[in-house]
Amino acid sequence: MTTALIWDDRALRYDFGPDHPLKPVRVELTVALIRACGLPDADGVETLPRAAFGDDDVLRLHAEPYVDTVRRLSARPDPAGDGRYGLGIGDNPVFAGMHEASLEVCGASVAAAQAVWSGRAVHAFNPAGGLHHAMPDRAAGFCIYNDPVAAITWLLAAGAQRVAYVDVDTHHGDGVQAFFYDDPRVLTISLHESGRYLFPGTGFPDEIGSGDARGTSLNVPLPPATPGPVYLEAFDAVVPQALDAFAPEVLVTQLGCDTHVTDPLAHLALTTDDYAALAQRLHGYAHRWAGGRWVAVGGGGYQIASVVPRAWTIYFAELCGAALPPAVPADWLEHATATVGERPPEVFLDGAVRLSPERVAAIRAETGASVESLKRAAFDLLERR
């Protein structure tokens, strides 16, 4: 079975500048680590370029006044941006070429969808993707155009009738939810730090979809400091049952790793061990319910060298069914240290996070309440579909 890595070696142009947390070097270091581990040379692994994705394509997703504004500010950057569309100082600073750079990210995720749906690959990964906050008519949360939506929209246009989207980023996958909130062909599942504590302030159990799609939007908000074992309990309580009821033809996943205990922008407490566990689960789900078809994209993660490359290399090793070396390759460690000025960990797995039993019990109780609230609100509707 073939696994596709969507990548070419031209510099990533989706770059908000040196002081912005979403640095393209984190993706470049990821691909360098994937290569250092020999994964692209494993049997059945193929590196593919992004697909063509132009103005006509993005206008099928985003409102024309918004796209026109992105295009204008891309050609003539004005630091003030345009607040009507979420562009400007703060999360989404304008930069020269941002329209074209955003199209490229979408094209890479569409290429992953094309590879999987056509049968050229069973699994495909775009590490530069996962810009899940972009809304139909505005930028949000470091995201200009929504590439997971581009991939899902392509799949629907190509004939898919049921697409499941699972988002494990620490931030609610609000943009993808918004695009498909009334579309019964798309199941969106997001586990994330509760909007009571973290941007974007949404993603509660009562957000279950509208109209014919009621029951196809599922959200599990989690309290700060949720550790991996509790996170996985919630994941196991929701995701398999939802996929079993929905019976997707293809699985799309957003693999943000800003859930890590050391991430500077959020407050969950997962480790790379938990990413290995999630990868195994998602791989199994793709084969159990979606004929193996698995489209994966990157996402958040702001420990540029110490976490993101290891996390997404763990996921890619699972995607292609290959074993990782016992230690992070020394040549990559030297490269990463020279690139970012800090030495990453020398092993792939971090070990467990230690919290007091009392704190874990409180977190487990709050998480369990979220799961039960979601099930009461949505699961009967989903299972009657």
d(CA 129, CA 5): 12
Residue of 99, 123, 133, 260 marked active site: 133
Count CB neighbours of 17 within 10 A: 9
What type of residue sits at position 309?
A: P
Using alpha carbons, select from 138, 193, 149, 181 the residue that is nearest to residue 60: 149
Could you tell me how far CA 383 lies from the centroid of its own chain? 26
Active site residue 123: no
- Residues linked to residue 124 through DSSP beta bridges, in sequence order: 4, 295
| Phi–psi pair at 249, nearest 5 degrees | -90, -20
- Give the integer Cα–Cα distance in Å for 223 and 129: 26
Burial of 52 per CB tally in 10 Å (0-12, 13-18, 19+): exposed
Asked if residues 258 and 170 have their Cβ atoms less than 8 Å apart, the reply is: yes
For the annotated catalytic residues, the residue numbers are 133
